[in-house]
Amino acid sequence: MVKQSISAEQIITAAFEILQASGTVDALSIRKIANQLDIGAATFYWHFENKQALLQAMADNIIQQIEIEPCNTTLEWTDQIRQIFSAIYTTYIAQPYAAELMMRTVPATKARLGLINHLIQILLDAGFTPEQASLAIESIDHFMSGLFTDITGELEMKHRVSQHKDTYLAQLPLKMQQIATDNHYNAFLKTFEHHRHQQQRSLEKFMLGLDIFLAGLQQQLA
């Protein structure tokens, strides 16, 4: 029997450190974790059946960090949804790979299912059917995941530029601006700086999109 001197929590922490450095789930490997902790593969497999099992635990760890206020029925259902997704977003933005982890795993844990159940219940109490509630939560989640995929890609490109690994990529924003100027794409030029600073304004973009979703849902109840 393998002697255990490393805990599952230490493996999860090491995996997060590797993910933070690489920025992508694909770069995470059992070999890298074993090397970082100076352990053999057998120690890893004592705690986790495979890489997927580790990813499941990591996703659950992130969800448990989300600070959700107790159910407040005095708030409008729209405010409850907005409050919860704002908390989710705040947790995700600190870990841009979080959305990818959620997309690569199944919510087969108490914490994740509890969060989904809470969100659906708010909509059911507001008068939506189970089908409408489920579709609404899935749609908002997909919107948020897509936004974070965009942010992660932007961070990766900025890293390549800052490390002088891709001079061609560094020139493309100026090329975009020049093409827009030459062709009088004035509407685009008015938003150019916004596009260049997408990460800094990502919360604003998400909340605007969320409000659009909620306004559409309110119309279904009218």
Q: Is residue 218 scored above 50 in pLDDT?
A: yes
* Phi, psi of 109, rounded to the nearest 5 degrees: -135, 160
**Residue in 92, 21, 173, 47 with CA at minimum distance from that of residue 30:** 47
What are the helix and strand counts (H, E) for the chain?
Answer: 12, 0
User: What average pLDDT score do residues 160-185 get?
Assistant: 82
Contact assessment for residue 51 and residue 12, using Cβ atoms and an 8 Å cutoff: no
**Residue in 43, 42, 54 with CA at minimum distance from that of residue 16:** 54
Q: Which of 14-28, 58-72, 110-124 has the highest mean pLDDT?
A: 110-124
The amino acid occupying position 155 is L
Q: pLDDT digits over 127-146, tens only?
A: 999 999 999 999 999 998 88
Q: Is residue 51 scored above 60 in pLDDT?
A: yes
Q: Which domains does the chain have, with CATH numbers?
A: 8-63 (1.10.10.60), 70-221 (1.10.357.10)
Q: b/e string for 125-155 if b means 16 or more Cβ within 10 A?
A: ebebeeebbbebbeebbebbbebbeebbebe
